Chain A
Amino acid sequence: MQDRVLLISDLHLEEQRQDITEAFTQFLKVNRGKCSALYILGDLFEVWVGDDVESPLTTKIADSLRKFYKSGSSIYLMHGNRDFLIGESYAAQCGITLVQDYFSLEVQNLEILLLHGDSLCTDDVDYQQFRTMVRDNQWQTEFLKKPIEERVAYASAAREQSRAAVKTKSTEIMDVNQTAVKTLFNSTQHKYVIHGHTHRPAIHDVSLKQDCSSETTGKRIVLGDWDKEIWFVEIQNGKIDLRALPFPE
């Protein structure tokens, strides 16, 4: 197996977007047996209210991921702010290993910190409060006990609220906070950070003070969402590339 690692995020798969589902299943097919690992850094699905809620979409994705996994590639999934309720049961169905936000990936002599990215948007105080609530284990356990209809209704209402809030928030608020970024680099000492969430694909240089005399540069690589293009990061031969491809015809 090639020592090639792929990372993606923010596909926001949903029944209404067959084009993204198609692009993703094609992406898996093309890369089957051609990479050692695939990391999904959150928001694979637009909404997830429990592993007990199956649909043709969830089955199709599970089948595709399972085939990919069986070809010899490991699949790691980190929760995003939309699909944080994906559980061990669905993960097992897909051949996925669930990992946490702030996962350290050591590959090809690179030390990279992986996260979804929403935790860095500290200017969005309302959202951070919501995040703390829904990421709480007890809240999740209680929520998953509710009837499916109630969970679906809650998720729809939350999405509506989020859409309405997005319209009133400045674009700066919804991006990462630069102080949070610097704190992250300085506390974990990783040279590379890869995340999604903001839907602003880019490679940013972050200057880091090591001590009084020396300064070094870290890189923050932001994955794009799959609304119009296939965004992914490819790590090969010790190099990290951010790439975009058009959807298949």
Chain B
Amino acid sequence: MIVLNTNYGAITVELNFEKAPISAENFKKYAKDGFYEGTIFHRVIDDFMVQGGGFEAGMAQKDNGSPIENEANNGLSNLTGTLAMARTSDPHSATSQFFINVGDNLFLDHRDKSEQGWGYAVFGRVVDGMKVINTIKACETGSNAGHQDVPVDDIVIQTVEIQED
């Protein structure tokens, strides 16, 4: 389990090392290295998803590591409360950014191995703190530094705890 302590409360996530070994290890490594501390949820869309893990307050992008292979074809679905890797239009471009689904987003699931059909890799789920997410998803957003849907008040991951099972 990994606990993301935010300024709106704690979110505990469980990683699925069995079905998404690459993404889960990738997330755990960033968490262990302290990479996520001080990062914000920079893209928040109610009923869709809340995304973070790549920017600091003030929309300063953090340097992150190498892209990983997309594991969206692992059978896990982008349902409410699941954790998935964010990426660019290139299916295999995910690095540190992740998102939490706040709606059942089945259209993000893997369909085929084309650029449009690859989908987004689910690699974990929220086990505690959905009430925190419900608060976050309802926050006021606006545009900032060329990005849309940026929360007006920073939602910051202040500390990260790794609890070995």
Contacts and interface: CB of A to CB of B under 8 A. Distances in A.
Interface of A: 97-100, 102-106, 111, 113, 137, 187-190
A104 B132 contact: yes
A105 B9 CA distance: 6
Contacts of B128: 106
A188 B9 CA distance: 13
B56 to A, nearest CB: 13
A97 B135 contact: no
Interface string B1-21: 000000111100000000000
B8 A190 contact: no
Contacts of B152: 137
B135 A188 contact: yes
Interface string B104-133: 000000000000000000000000110110
B9 A189 contact: no
B155 to A, nearest CB: 8
Contacts of A105: 9
A53 B138 CA distance: 35
A98 B158 CA distance: 9
B143 interface: no
A106 B9 CA distance: 8
Nearest to B153: A100
A42 B68 CA distance: 44
Contacts of B132: 104
Given A104-B131, A187-B138, A98 B7 contact: yes
A103 B131 contact: no
B134 interface: yes
13 contacts: A98-B7, A100-B8, A103-B7, A104-B131, A104-B135, A106-B10, A106-B131, A111-B131, A137-B152, A137-B153, A189-B131, A189-B134, A190-B131
Given A137-B152, A187-B138, A100 B131 contact: no
A187 B134 CA distance: 8
Nearest to A98: B7
Contacts of B158: 97
A7 to B, nearest CB: 14
B141 to A, nearest CB: 13
Interface residues of B, number: 15
A106 B131 CA distance: 9
Nearest to A102: B135
B105 to A, nearest CB: 21
Contacts of B155: 100
A81 B28 CA distance: 39
A104 B128 CA distance: 11
B8 A113 contact: no
Given A97-B158, A137-B152, A103 B8 contact: yes
A140 B10 CA distance: 27
Question: Closest 8 A-B residue pairs measured CB to CB?
Answer: A104-B9, A104-B132, A104-B131, A99-B7, A100-B7, A102-B135, A100-B8, A103-B9
Contacts of B129: 104, 106
A30 B7 CA distance: 27
Nearest to B11: A104
Contacts of A137: 152-153
Interface string B144-158: 000000001101001
Given A97-B158, A111-B131, A190-B131, A104 B8 contact: yes
B20 to A, nearest CB: 26
Given A102-B135, A104-B135, 18 more contacts: A97-B7, A97-B158, A98-B7, A99-B7, A99-B8, A100-B8, A100-B153, A102-B8, A103-B9, A104-B129, A104-B132, A105-B9, A106-B9, A106-B10, A106-B128, A106-B131, A113-B131, A188-B131
